[in-house]
Amino acid sequence: MREYIVCVADANAAENARLCEGLELHGYAAFGVTSAAEVLETCRRGQADLVLLDVNLPGMSGREVRKRLLEAPETRGIPVIYVVGREEDAEGLRNGPLGAGGHIVKPYNLPMVMVRVDSVLRGCEPYELSGAGCFEDTAYTDPLTGLRNRLYLCERLSEELEKAGRYGVPVSCLFLDISEVEAVDRDLGMVSMDDLLAEVALALKNTSRVYDILARFDGCMFAAVLPHTPLEAAVRYAAKIQEEMSATTFSDPAFPTRAKLSFGIAASHDGQARNAEQLMSEAMRNLLHASAGCEQGIVARAMSASG
């Protein structure tokens, strides 16, 4: 996957630099501009794959900048994510001809920003590279995390099981549930569930291969289809996600929240699981056992042709 270039258009130099630094830490090339004229010139020269566009840039509104980008053939294909000062300011930006790839709110929540940026840029990749197709297809996308949704996961799992049966390769299905959420600092309280879900989504992406299929399944539950992955490797995958959350999110003083992550895994080693529903049902049963008190938080089982 090539390195994408993100143009951060924010008149506040400190916030601009902070966001650029965060993007670079997550593998993007990033640079900041502070005016609408710089945005238009940068895009005209083809120097940006994505623009994070403050709606209140001096000299020209974000909507007007977006309109001018759409009017020029050489810039109309550059995606834009609006930056707003508060959630209420996003009203009117979500729909209509000037709509963009969603919005983010100041002060910047870096995990939420990365989820939004990743979802928009992965939507620009061909299917073979992203393993997920075009993220602009809202029927298959979870708007909060940028991951796929239950409908897409079920369809793709059926396809992967068919391939597994044809070629005799393993495939694993994993469910992840978040529970026992609690505040570590009584004064600061807990972060929002949206922030926690975004953190888990980011950990999933950081741990996964480009062809793994990730989804927010329902509420606080995530799912993953892992092609060419036997049971033992799927268990290691779940352990890596736990380690990622423990070493980053749950160890960050700025994120004073802890939660229990439980994993249920089912794997078809011989490619002969009868259907997607059978494999998901087994993974869900294992998740229930893990949530009920498994010390490691991971319960896994390999399925045979007889189930």
Sketch out the chain's domains with CATH numbers: 5-108 (3.40.50.2300), 150-303 (3.30.70.270)
Check if the beta carbon of residue 172 is closer than 8 Å to that of residue 253: no
Average pLDDT of the chain is 81
Residue 128's pLDDT is what? 33
Check if the beta carbon of residue 178 is closer than 8 Å to that of residue 145: no
Average pLDDT over residues 266-286: 84
Confidence label for 241 from pLDDT (cuts 50, 70 and 90): very high
Rounded Cα distance, 44 and 107, in Å: 29
C-alpha distances (whole Å) from 186 to each of 26, 65, 190, 191, 253 are 31, 44, 8, 12, 13
Sole residue written with tokens 């570590």: 184
Confidence label for 201 from pLDDT (cuts 50, 70 and 90): very high
Radius of gyration of the chain (CA): 21
pTM summary value: 0.60
Can you read off the two tokens belonging to residue 205? 């992406």
Element at 7 (helix H, strand E): strand 5-9
Check residues 167 and 22 and name the one with the higher pLDDT.
22
pLDDT at 5 over 80: yes
